[in-house]
Amino acid sequence: MSDRREFRDLASPAEAREAIDSLDLSPADETVSLDEARGRVLAGRIDAALDVPGFDRASMDGYAVRARDTFGADEADPAVLDQIGAVHAGAEPDVEVTEGTCAEISTGAVMPPGADAVVKVERTDEVDAGVAIRTSVAPGDAVMVAGADVAAGSRALGPGTLLTPREIGLLSALGVDEVPVRGRPTVGIVSTGDELVRPGGDLNSDAGQIYDVNSYTIAAGVEEAGGEAVLYPHAGDDYDEMERLLVEAAEECDLVLSSGSTSASAVDVIYRVIETEGDLLLHGVSVKPGKPMLVGRLDDSAYIGLPGYPVSALTIFQTFVAPAIREAAALPEPRTATVEGEMAVQERYGEGRTRLMPVGLVDDADGTRLVYPVDKGSGATTSLVEADGVVEVDADTAYLAAGEQVTVQLFSPDVRPPALFGVGEDDPALSRLLDHVSQPRYLDVGSRQGRRRLRDGVPDVAVVSGPSDRDLDAVELGGWTREWGLVVPPGNPDDVDGLADLVDRDLRFVNRAVDAGLRASLDAELERLADERDTDRRDLTDAIDGYDLTVKGFESPARKVLAGDAAVGLGLRETAETLDCGFVPLGTESVTVLADPDRAAKPGVESLQQALDTRLDDVVDSLSGYDA
């Protein structure tokens, strides 16, 4: 551990931006065909090489005439002209309009020689002697002369223009079928860390393997910023291979990203490669998170090392790297990249370095956008979807007050605040109901935390179950009941019969955490048993092996039982049936959906109400031990 690098001289965020700006990520310009040009940025000026239209063009259906032949004509005294032929769009005129004659003409057709105006068909009549013209026209009427739309030689589009459908329309009109555009910077992503396995691969949890979160996340961020992501194969713990991959990526890409390994030796390999093949510009930035960020040059390529934790990696990527990729691609920052909001709660902070604070967003009843900190720390990947973006808090800001205006840099310009924000108990019926609500966010924090957070005024709804000793000012949207009890291995090999078995026998148990409604229901049952035995609940819980062994999800105890880690788990009949376990029923508890009274009219809450009203019966019918 003594080899591990220390980041003593941390750079400021401004210095980090400067170092990144000094890198050259710009790819060469390229030529793309028009059907692939949307979203690209023009690399040079396009001047019109031809007139549009390329000929004097009739802009109405009617008759091509010599204007002077119509002078004086009106409804009362039409001019009658000989019709000498017809000209259709896309055809070369085969007639010449001479004095006293006219030619039928379609919109878009070439004006025949001799004609200098079009009389629209509504002001004419076919008569025996020819065509009666009931109005007089001036030369040029209803004619678009060649070049009147776009004149050859004129400036059509300039360099730096983002090509949207309308620009593609103008290029089409000019006959341009390929255009010079700014290249997309190629960004190589090298994943380091012995413990990482690509999604889809087999995971050996006993050996501490985890799925590689950052590679695909950052690749998606790179593409979103206008770059082209290249994922390099995972080098595992072969450091020669890692070195080879870094050098290869540097040769092939404009920018190489690695996301920090927790393995010290992997970091050392990166240092060694950069020091041999390149130039380390800075290591360590005074921001939280992101302290271990590296910036340097590797061969002719730029190199940036990101932190390892997913939220930190995405935060540092969006804050420092995405702007550099966009600039290299000449793309503007999307207008939806940031939103304004006000702090829903106060937040203290005083570490003396810039903080990139992950936050969630929720709209209150009157549409005010509230911002609340989300910081699970510890590298939780769920923070990725529980946060919408980050607020950059200055190093000298020690305190953000509730109500204070802040700017949120979204994790993606496509991120939208949830339409419904719920917290509380985890439950399979709820999970299915949420499928019928558009853009919900639901945090499984348990019933106790759910009640507390609803009281604090941040979420729209809380879903709670089990007994509670505190009243809550809330609107009840609906609810259902679920049967709970003890989940045991298939066939109930230990012949578990009830709670007393846990207390009296030597059975390894898995519990839920204190915030879970199921846990409160269990504790109430234990209280009852203690009363029966005229003893204290504490005496009973002390006797249960594993009472303090708690796991997170409603299925988790059952899964522990199935894995052979315990003999009995706290859970639902539904879970026992789904996972083919045995089940010893202990009771039925109510699950209730409570809304903040101020938010009851919010569309997302109404949408959940509608799901409860129309979908709940079907949902509970599909689950064992459920009732509406």
By CB under 8 A, the residues from 473 to 532 that bind its own copies are: none
Q: How far is the CB of 58 from its own copies (least distance, A)?
A: 9
Site string for its own copies, 120-159 (x = CB under 8 A): -x----------------------xxxxxxxxxxxx-xxx
CB of 300 to its own copies, least distance (A): 26
Task: Kindly state the DSSP code that residue 107 receives in the 8-state scheme.
Answer: T
Q: How far is C-alpha 189 from the geometric centre of its chain's CA atoms?
A: 20
- Residue 418, SS3 per DSSP: coil
Residues 22-41 touching its own copies, rule: CB under 8 A, are 34-35, 37-39
Q: Does 603 bind its own copies (CB under 8 A)?
A: no
> With respect to its own copies, which residue has the nearer C-beta, 19 or 442?
442
Block residue for tokens 């839920």: 512
| 3-class secondary structure, 100 | coil
Query: What is the per-residue binding string for its own copies in 570-599, x denoting contact by CB under 8 A?
Result: -----x------------------------
Question: Could you give the CA distance from residue 217 to residue 627 in angstroms, rounded to a whole number?
Answer: 40
Query: Quick one: which of 88, 272, 528, 533 contacts its own copies (CB under 8 A)?
Result: 88
Residue 572, burial from CB neighbour count under 10 angstroms (0-12, 13-18, 19+) = buried
Among 254, 327, 444, 589, binds its own copies (CB under 8 A): 444
434 binds its own copies per the rule CB under 8 A: yes
Does the protein bind its own copies through residue 625 (CB under 8 A)?
no
Least separation in angstroms between CB 541 and its own copies: 16
Part of the chain binding its own copies (CB under 8 A), chosen from 188-196, 288-296, 471-479, 522-530? 188-196
Helix (H) or strand (E) holding 161, with range, is none
Rounded to the nearest angstrom, the gap between the alpha carbon of residue 121 and the centroid of all alpha carbons in its chain is 55
Q: Is 401 in the site for its own copies (CB under 8 A)?
A: no
**Contact status, residue 521 vs residue 482, Cβ threshold 8 Å:** no
Cβ-contact 426, 384 below 8 angstroms: no
* Minimum separation from the CB atom of position 560 to its own copies (A): 9
CB of 73 to its own copies, least distance (A): 20
Choose, by CB under 8 A, the member of 190, 273, 306, 314 that binds its own copies: 314
Read off the amino acid at residue 51.
D
Name the residue among 253, 296, 290 with its Cα closest to residue 273. 296
What is the Cα–Cα distance from 514 to 425, expressed in whole angstroms? 12
Interacting residues with its own copies between 262 and 281 (CB under 8 A) = 262-264
The CA distance from 557 to 548, in Å, is 12
**Whole-number Å distance between alpha carbons of 382 and 397:** 27
Region of 18-26, 527-535, 555-563, 597-605 interacting with its own copies (CB under 8 A): 555-563
- For residue 417, cis peptide bond before it (omega within 30 degrees of 0): no
- Contact letters for its own copies, residues 164-183 (x by CB under 8 A): xxxxxxxxxxxxxxx-----
Among 27, 185, 310, 422, binds its own copies (CB under 8 A): 310
In the block, residue with structure tokens 């290869």: 248
The reply on whether position 89 binds its own copies by CB under 8 A is: yes
Number of amino acids touching its own copies (CB under 8 A): 142
Q: Decide if residue 468 touches its own copies (CB under 8 A).
A: no
Is 230 one of the binding residues for its own copies (CB under 8 A)? no
Window 38-57: residues binding its own copies (CB under 8 A):
38-39, 45, 47-48, 50-55, 57
Please pick, from the candidates 233, 332, 585, 597, the single residue that binds its own copies as defined by CB under 8 A.
332
Q: How far apart are CA 278 and CA 117, in angstroms?
A: 71
Q: Which of 36, 54, 47 is CA-nearest to residue 168?
A: 36
Q: Which of 11, 131 has the CB closer to its own copies?
A: 131
- CB 138, min distance to its own copies, A: 11
Task: Decide: is 439 part of the binding site for its own copies (CB under 8 A).
Answer: yes
**206 binds its own copies, rule: CB under 8 A:** yes
Q: Which stretch binds its own copies (CB under 8 A): 211-219, 241-249, 277-285, 470-478?
A: 211-219
Which of 366, 396, 414, 469 touches its own copies (CB under 8 A)? 414
Q: CB of residue 509 vs its own copies: minimum separation in angstroms? A: 16
Least Å distance, CB 457 to its own copies, is: 24
Strand-pair partners of 583: 487
Which distant-in-sequence residues (6+ apart) come within 8 Å of 463 by Cβ? Answer: 422, 423, 424, 425, 427, 430, 442, 447, 450, 591, 592, 593, 594
Q: What is the dihedral of CA 280, 285, 288, 293, to 10 degrees?
A: -10
Helix (H, G, I), strand (E, B) or coil at 82: strand
Count of alpha carbons within 13 angstroms of residue 195, beta-carbon side: 16
